Copies of this chain bind each other. A is one copy, B any other.
Amino acid sequence: MTVLDDKGVSPLMTHAPTADTPDLSAVRPDVDALLTAFLDRKAHLTPGPELAPLFTVLSRLLVSGKRLRPQLCVAGWHAAGGHGDQSTVLHVAAALELFQAFALIHDDVMDGSDLRRGEPTAHRALAAAYTAGGGRRGRAEAHGQSAAILLGDLTLVWSDDLLHSAGLDDGALRRVLPLVDTMRSELVYGQYLDLRSSDRLSDDVEAALRVVRYKTAKYTVEWPLRLGAVLAGAAPDVLDACSAFAVPLGEAFQLRDDLLGVFGDPAETGKPVGDDIREGKATVLMALAVRAASAADQQLLGTLVGSPDLTGGDLHRVRAVLERTGARQHVEEMISARRGTALAALDQAPFPAAAAAALRAIAQIATVRQA
């Protein structure tokens, strides 16, 4: 499964800051401050100290993350001519980050993952807190899983709460709510399509691309960008330009992530290499390999992909198939083509030059990164 995490994405604008480019590097600390203040308010309103583990675990998860979606949201706001007081758009951006935290918490439960960004996942941390608080050791795992389902639910509900208290005027609220509703449905659709296609080896490149489109292109890039633009009262042509840029960029972003998951350096990506292979994730990369593989290579993939106890040697053999079928190269070309389409869309977009420059920097970081 795995919702795309943005841990590896560098803070923006550290590479190419110019005087007239919106300074998106401030988004992260600003969003952090809003999230901290929000959780503090909630902590004061809870019915008892027994809820403390929920706060501890969520706070720690929120500390990390590079705020890709918030940055895209603020960039979209600039792209639609937003200027002046950023308080509202930053609140909305922070709500997006809470929504992403919800998605990660449930994703980790579904995948049974132990670590997220080098720390115990929510369900593991909540299981540990339960045992530390005197709970029966034999029930800790089940408790952790249930508690994490509840924490995910709470985080989803809180993302709404933060959105509703963002200071939106009536018109903006009316524009934003349906967009957020669509974004959230589409993420779940993408997750479910992904869940269904995992565990069966497939040569269906289109099906794999559809998952990419829903889970990453739309959820991670298109909707945050459009959300910011809508807040600034974007005209239809601006919204169209947002999508024309965002969807190919988002696809390229996920395709790069898929390559890094198999060929990346764990020291740079921060996650174990080969997990997608172990989980049998139906990536575009794998579908292309299956499609082009010889009978012998198909059999090799059939044996190894989705095998939880994959060895280093197995991974090496799978990689060799991905190379010799041309699948790796093909995905590199797909990334290039999509980056090109996104940048061309940006050249045509009716965005202020500074906003376009910021989005160009995002496109670069998202598609050529090593981590």
* Contact bitstring A201-212, B, C-beta under 8 A = 1, else 0: 000000000100
A344 contacts the other chain (Cβ, under 8 Å)?
no
From B102, B164, B181, B199, A178 is in contact (CB under 8 Å) with: B164
Give the distance in Å from the alpha carbon of A327 to the alpha carbon of B204 in the complex. Answer: 62
Contact A46 B189 (CB under 8 A): yes
Give the distance in Å from the alpha carbon of A178 to the alpha carbon of B41 in the complex. Answer: 14
List B contacts of A146 (CB < 8 A).
1, 110, 195
Give the distance in Å from the alpha carbon of A191 to the alpha carbon of B146 in the complex. Answer: 10
| Dominant secondary structure of chain A at its interface with chain B | helix
From B164, B196, B199, B200, A177 is in contact (CB under 8 Å) with: B164
A200 to chain B, nearest CB (A): 8
List B contacts of A33 (CB < 8 A).
none
* Contact bitstring A146-179, B, C-beta under 8 A = 1, else 0: 1101101110111011001100001001100110
With A48-B210, A139-B199, A199-B135 given, is the CB distance from A110 to B149 under 8 Å? yes
List B contacts of A130 (CB < 8 A).
196
From B47, B165, B196, A189 is in contact (CB under 8 Å) with: B47
Give me the interface of A with B, judged by CB distance under 8 Å: 1, 42, 46-48, 50-51, 54, 102, 106, 109-110, 112, 130, 133-136, 139, 142-143, 145-147, 149-150, 152-154, 156-158, 160-161, 164-165, 170, 173-174, 177-178, 181, 184-186, 188-189, 191-193, 195-196, 199-200, 210, 214
